[in-house]
């Protein structure tokens, strides 16, 4: 394996000026169970982060809510000072009340606080990509994005994105700010966000799919992923990632894991190319 394996996935310029290898890494699995509390093996988490960068990953996705704060501190411990080509995308706007509990809070003063804390915990002077983790339905969108735009004008945020939104949400947000990325649930088996993906593709907006490896019944013996995996001498997860990479040039998958072996397996998907017929077969399998 070369140290630039993720580069086989090609590149995409987020916002036109943040060029990353399309296959990235998400840190959501590094904190404790339910994305809550300390990592069960902090030393291993640091090793996984460092190995991801060694394998050519240049986009790392995190959020203040992961832990909360646990993932950000692990990133800083493992990778700071950061390589010039490493983009750390983070999110604010979700509060945590315990394992697997998430409540959006979009009050301007809270969003500002969390951006400031993210800068501190990550050891950054500016966040390259800051995404609103969820739109808070109890706060005017103008107030939520307005505060982030103000932070952007202060030089604390480079680019803005949104997470788990509809096409209508994106259109409304674009009237208030320059939105360069969206992050929604999207994978081979769950494609409800295809209208948003098509809009993002048409407008050269990065689409960062979370939970990209949902394979389920598709990977069972005799299923379409299983048969094609044997043909390519690959894992079903690799095929699921290869499908995403072929689906649209704006898709930036961020498979997460706390396992060094799974990390290597995921990154190796960057070099797997599906034929048009294979892509069509997998697309039709769901």
Positions marked active-site: 66
Q: Let me know the angle formed at the C-alpha of 46 by 41 and 51, rounded to the nearest 5 degrees.
A: 125
Given phi > 0 = left and psi -120 to 50 = alpha, else beta, which region is 116? alpha
Residues 197 and 251 sit within 8 Å (Cβ to Cβ)? yes
Buried b or exposed e, range 50-89, using 16+ CB within 10 angstroms: ebbbebbbbbbbbbbbbbbbbbbbbbbebbeebeeebbbb
Handedness of CA 140, 142, 145, 150 (dihedral sign): negative
Whole-angstrom distance, CA of residue 168 vs CA of residue 257: 32
Residues 212 and 237 sit within 8 Å (Cβ to Cβ)? no
Residues 182 and 209 sit within 8 Å (Cβ to Cβ)? no
Whole-angstrom distance, CA of residue 286 vs CA of residue 179: 31
256 Cβ contact partners less than 8 Å away, ≥ 6 residues apart: 25, 26, 27, 28, 29, 30
């Amino acid at each position: 394996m070369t140290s630039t394996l993720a580069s086989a996935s090609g590149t995409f310029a987020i916002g036109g000026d943040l060029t990353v290898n399309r296959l990235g890494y998400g840190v959501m699995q590094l904190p404790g169970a339910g994305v809550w509390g300390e990592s069960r093996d902090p030393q291993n988490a640091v090793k996984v982060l460092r190995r991801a960068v060694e394998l050519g990953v240049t986009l790392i996705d995190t959020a203040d809510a992961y832990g909360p704060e646990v993932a950000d501190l692990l990133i800083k411990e493992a990778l700071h000072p950061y390589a010039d080509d490493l983009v750390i995308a983070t999110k604010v706007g979700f509060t945590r009340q315990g394992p697997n509990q998430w409540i959006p809070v979009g009050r301007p003063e809270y969003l500002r606080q969390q951006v400031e804390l993210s800068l501190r915990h990550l050891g950054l002077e500016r966040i390259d990509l800051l995404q609103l983790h969820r739109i808070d339905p109890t706060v005017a969108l103008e107030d939520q994005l307005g505060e982030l735009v103000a932070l952007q004008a202060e030089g604390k945020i480079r680019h803005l994105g949104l997470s788990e939104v509809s096409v209508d949400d994106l259109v409304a947000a674009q009237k208030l700010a320059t939105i360069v990325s969206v992050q929604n649930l999207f994978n081979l088996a769950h494609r409800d966000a295809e209208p948003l993906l098509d809009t993002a593709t048409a407008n050269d907006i990065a689409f960062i799919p979370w939970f990209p490896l949902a394979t389920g019944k598709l990977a069972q013996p005799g299923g379409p992923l299983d048969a094609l995996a044997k043909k390519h001498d690959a894992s079903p997860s690799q095929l699921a990632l290869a499908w995403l990479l072929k689906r649209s040039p704006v898709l930036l998958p961020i498979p997460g894991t706390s396992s060094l072996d799974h990390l290597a397996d995921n990154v190796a998907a960057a070099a797997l190319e599906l034929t048009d017929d294979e892509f069509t077969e997998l697309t039709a399998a769901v």
